[in-house]
Structure 1
Amino acid sequence: LWETPSGLINSIGLQNPGVQHFIDVELPEMLELKQKYGTVAIANLGGHSEEEYVEGAAMLSESAVDIVELNISCPNVKVGGMAYGVKAEAAGEVVRMVRAACKKPLMVKLSPQAENIPEMCKAVEAAGADAISLTNTFQACAIDLEKRRPVFNNIFAGLSGPAVRPIALRMVWQAVGAVNIPVVGLGGIATGRDALEFIMAGAAAVQVGAANFANPRAMETIADEMAAWMDKNGVKTLDEIRGCARNAE
């Protein structure tokens, strides 16, 4: 991890103990939280080949998770490491294969490196996605002045946090206008007002990532701030303001 004035750069990748360990050890803890807070359990699935995606999706399909989130920002080893999320054709193909193996609702997490966000959204919708989430981290670079070299061995790494929020919001706006399935917004959300911007752009829900590093209770704070704004402005449900900013189009 490398902190910037307006976010975090990470080169952690998708390190994890595997799908079976998640199902056996981590999912039971998630299900306890699900019951306590009345929410849903979502599993984020990555892979480096179509076969890995399909195998993981099939395993999760038989588990107690409510939704499978397919992370297509992973590099495709068959095409020289280019991420599945760059080209709409490659994304559509892997989503089709996973859809055939997965009985759970399928949400596809998009990369900001996609060549064309609206076309990418349409491709994964046509391939069977039930929802879309975006955006993943943006490629960035940092230099260590004392060592006089890039901070990360791979040189480029993923930027998240407030710096990316206006760009992520633009991409969510484009996605909502391109498809007829729910769009979940993420990217730099750190306050209730941030989250409400995404809702007004048409997002069905939001996700929070980097803000949790600065404040482990960030999601509670964001929810409280959203509720306070709604009370102040006489808004009873998010549906009253969802997509309202699009009326200006």
Structure 2
Amino acid sequence: MSERLRTSLGPLTLANPFVNASGTYGYGVEYASFVDVARLGGVSVKGISLLPRPGNSPPRTCETSAGMLNSIGLANIGIDVFLAETLPQLRELGVTVIVNTFATSIEDFVELAARFDNETGIAALELNISCPNVHAGGMHFGVSGAAAAEVTGAVRAVTDLPLMVKLSPEAGDIGEVARGVESAGADMISMINTIRGMVIDVDRRRPMLGQKMGGMSGPAIKPLGVRMVYEVFQQVSIPIIGMGGIASLRDALEYLMAGATAVQVGTANYSEPGISLRLADELEAWCSERDLTVTDLVGCAQGD
């Protein structure tokens, strides 16, 4: 891939703007036998917590007419196994590793970040703040600028790694949250996370998912994601990684033109595991035909 696709996210530079989204690509190593994962702009690995988690009871996924619902429950192998077994494999493969982390207390977020800070082969941390803060009555970290800033600032204090904060579309004012994490030291923002939804099995007269509700992803949420990226671009100066429903080059271009410096591809990986590399090749051809770079596209739809 040419220099046309190179993109800078503050202290983090990617060879191309396509990152596979956390929770949709395992830990990256699972795809190495049939996808050159090192050619991706990056892989945001499945969210890591301090202790392993089995996740929610099944059913945990179901299709909708324009995407899917998931209620995986943040199942993961935990930081010890990830550091001992998975990260060495990712280093050997040459993957640009973005480690997604989640916790239910600021103290646990801080401990995760401090441990990752001592490791080689990690390009950035991504904080999933769409989690309940057990010390604040279950209020999610990402619903207010103050709460988001508090956890971001605490993590910033213990790591020099590039810091990305993943925003929830269910915040009352996502712009306020974005400004909060920027003021607390975030280097970049990723948005948007899934939106809660429900599907009911009309034959059983019961919800399809074991936990009743799940996170909606896929094409249905793309217009919401593009709108939020467009709005937040006007309110912060740090880079944005856009996501939500990207399944074609045009989808990715919308996000870039709205103000994203890079994009994350999620649900589309399930039907085409190599989609991000295909889209990167298509974007390179598209830019070459017009003598443009990715940088030229970022925010070009902004205006009066």
With normalisation by structure 2, the TM-score equals 0.77
* Paired letter, 1:93: E
Counterpart of 1:13 in structure 2: which amino acid?
A: G
Cα deviation, residue 215, structure 1? 0.7
SS at match of 2:109: helix
* 1:217 positional shift: 1.0
Amino acid across the alignment from 1:60? F
Q: Contact 1:140–1:159 at 8 Å: present in 2 too?
A: yes
Of 134, 144, 149, the match for 1:87: 144
Name the residue aligned to 2:48: none
Are the aligned partners of 1:191 and 1:221 in contact in 2 as well (CA < 8 Å)?
no
Q: For this pair of structures, how many residues does the alignment match?
A: 243
Q: Which moved more, 1:18-27 or 1:1-10?
A: 18-27
CA distance in 1, matches of 2:298, 2:251: 14
Distance 1:180 1:219 in 2: 26
Comparing both chains, which one has the higher relative contact order based on Cα–Cα distances under 8 Å and sequence gaps of 6 or more?
2
Look up the match of 2:6: none
Structure 1 gaps of 5+ residues are none
* Maintained 8 Å contact 1:185/1:205: yes
1:75-114 aligned at under 5 Å gives the runs: 75-114=132-171
Runs of 4+ in 1 over 4 A off after TM superposition: none
Instruction: String of CA shifts for 1:33-58, please: whole Å, max 9, x gaps.
Output: 336xxxx2110011011111011011
TM-score, normalised by the number of residues in structure 1:
0.93
Partners of 2:268 and 2:201 in 1: CA distance: 24
Aligned to 1:74: 131
Per-residue deviation, 1:223 = 1.2
Say if 2:196 is the partner of 1:136. no
Aligned to 1:30: 90
Q: Provide the secondary structure at the position in 2 that maps to 1:111.
A: coil
Alignment RMSD = 1.3
Residues 192 and 224 in structure 1, CA contact (< 8 A), matched pair in contact too? no
> Which consecutive unaligned segments of at least 5 residues does structure 2 have?
1-60
> Which residue is equivalent to 1:187?
244
Partner of 2:116: 60
Please give the alpha-carbon distance, in whole angstroms, between the structure 2 residues aligned to 1:204 and 1:66.
16
User: Among residues 69, 85, 104, which one is paired with 1:9 in the alignment?
Assistant: 69
- Once the two structures are superposed, what CA deviation does each residue of 1:112-140 show, in whole Å capped at 9, x if it has no partner? 11110111110000011011000000110
Which whole-Å CA distance do the structure 2 matches of 1:137 and 1:18 have between them?
A: 22
Write the mapping of 1:145-224 to structure 2, written as runs, cut at 5 A: 145-224=202-281
User: Would you tell me which structure has more helix in proportion to its own residues?
Assistant: 1
- Deviation per CA, 1:39-87: give whole Å up to 9, x if none: x211001101111101101111111211001110111112232211111
1:10 counterpart letter in structure 2: N
CA contact (8 A) 2:156 2:186 kept: yes
User: Which SS does the other structure have where 1:215 is aligned?
Assistant: coil
Matches of 2:93 and 2:266 in 1, distance apart?
Answer: 18
Residue 20 in structure 1 maps to residue 76 in structure 2: no
Report the 3-state secondary structure (helix = DSSP H, G, I; strand = E; otherwise coil) of the residue aligned with 2:165.
Answer: strand
Q: 1:196-218: per-residue Cα shift (whole Å, max 9, x none)?
A: 11111111101111000011111
Structure 1 counterpart of 2:107, which letter? Answer: E
